Amino acid sequence: MTAASLLPARPVSNSAARRPRRWVVWAAHAAALTALPSGLWRIIVACGGPSGYTPAGLLEICPPGFAGPAYLLTLSVLTELAAVATLGLVRPWGERVPRWVPVLGGRSLPYLTVVAIAGAGAAVLAALWTPMLFWWMLPHSGMTEMGRLLVGLLYQPLVAWAPLLAVVTVDYWRRRRHG
């Protein structure tokens, strides 16, 4: 027996008990990165870069003029913002609105609302991206063979977004319900 084992254990503070575990923080960061490859590809396509589509196929996803590229850029930015929002489940700004935000700054976020939104997001993402697992089994007439391979690889990380978000959401709920 050592002297340290005879000392009473220090109580764990409430804030320490509410900190996310390290692997959950890693999962949140991984979720935030899942949308990056496909988003960067869409930005390249919007800027006129190689897309992997045939000319006719490219017209379907990015019509000429302002609307097509604007759509791809907007979709890329909004998708990445949604993915980065996962970090709020492991950061203080996911529990309390930052003070600099007008009107709402400093207010605590109702954790059940956050859990409901994140849980619904995970369900929608699962329905939206799980079919990407079967990308190579489906015909893609508007794409080149190399484009089909490239786009499939760039979109595969999105399949992991839903389960990663679900894990981080469950941990957020676990930590906040006792707070």
pLDDT by position in tens, the chain (length 179): 554 444 444 444 455 558 899 999 999 999 999 999 999 999 998 888 877 888 777 777 777 777 788 989 999 999 999 999 999 999 998 888 888 888 888 888 899 999 999 999 999 999 999 999 998 888 778 888 888 899 899 999 999 999 999 999 999 999 988 76
Q: Model-level pTM?
A: 0.83
pLDDT at 175: 92
Among 44, 82, 35, smallest CA distance to 62 is for 44
Domain parsing of the chain, residue ranges:
20-177
**Single-letter code of the amino acid located at 147:** G
pLDDT at 58: 77
The CA–CA distances, whole Å, from 124 to 2, 118, 119, 120, 163 equal 54, 10, 9, 6, 11
In contact, 44 and 69? CB cutoff 8 Å:
no
